[in-house]
Amino acid sequence: MSRKNKDFLDLYSWPAGDLRDVLSLATVLKAERLPRRSRLAGRTLAMIFEKASTRTRVSFEVGMFQLGGQALFLSRHDTQLGRGEPIEDTARVLSRYVDGIMIRTFSQDDVVCLARHATVPVINGLTDLLHPSQVLADIFTIQERLGEIRSMKVAYIGDGNNMANSWIHGALRFGFDLTLACPAGYHPDSAIMALADKSHGSTIKVVADPLEAARDAQVINTDVWASMGQEEEAAARRQVFAPFQVNDALLAVADPAAMVLHCLPAHRGEEISAAVFSRFQELIFTQAENRLHVQKALLVRLLGGEDESR
């Protein structure tokens, strides 16, 4: 792996080879019956949460424990960020105490600013723009079940949110075809789509018809229609997104062996029908588990732990 990347802020800024190295290491770590705790012994990860979380917090915290290190949970109320301290100062102070920082917050600019002023690695645990650790774990799950993702057709159905944006980055780096079906007014970020328009290795497009996106797809993804902070829009969004539900009618046009992914939490009867969720729940919960393995690999890579995968 190149040492160009001190931080993990998005998938696009990492070379494809480095991302594939992380997934290879995740395979090694997942296969271990007893995690070797010397990998990050004595290392500490600060975890800043300005948004609520179940999977991100637990998977990073458990991951650090299994690798021999420790994680510090810092909510907005536990730090001076909640009292207006500049994020630059938080970056400088935490860099004197810990070996890495994971942050889950609203603005991607805040994560970039934190990384710019920190001397230790910074990991993006989710922003309103991107969710790179989730999509990297999703790609791991696809390759674990179906093999090499390059040349596959992947569909994303629903809101052009942080998951959609990171899926576009993923397609650009891993070389698979991606079709996103999003309602008008809910498309992915325009700057990220501009990157997709210049892609020479994969076809990436946004369509209005979910059946067009799902046709012959080997992987179908979806996410909630109203993300955190959009609760007041939930009723209006249910009307707009109603035709974009992942259900049996949609799967009827997909590849007969298509897999369905959902990053959770799932709202059965909204973005995914109860029947489809039930049929794919074992895979979806494996997808959630794989956050742990992929993030452990990221932590080993970024925090400089022992790596015997090569």
d(C-alpha 202, C-alpha 183), whole Å = 23
* 177 phi-psi bin (left φ>0, alpha ψ -120 to 50, beta other): beta
Active site residue 182: no
Q: Which among 39, 173, 291, 293 is annotated as catalytic? A: 291
Active site residue 245: no
Q: Which among 134, 245, 287, 295 is annotated as catalytic? A: 134
Check the CA dihedral 5-9-13-14 and report its sign: positive
Which residue, 173, 71, 178, is CA-closest to 125?
71
Active site residue 134: yes
Q: Which among 21, 263, 293, 301 is annotated as catalytic? A: 263
Q: What angle do CA 207, 209, 215 make, to 5 degrees?
A: 95
In 3-state terms, what secondary structure has residue 38? coil
User: C-alpha distances in angstroms, 44 versus 82, 83, 89?
Assistant: 22, 24, 19
Q: Which among 55, 131, 173, 237 is annotated as catalytic? A: 131
**Edge-to-edge strands of the sheet including 122-126?**
70-75, 44-49, 100-104, 122-126
Q: Which among 43, 104, 237, 301 is annotated as catalytic? A: 104
Active site residue 113: no
Q: What letter would DSSP give residue 77?
A: G
Give catalytic residue positions. Answer: 104, 131, 134, 223, 263, 291
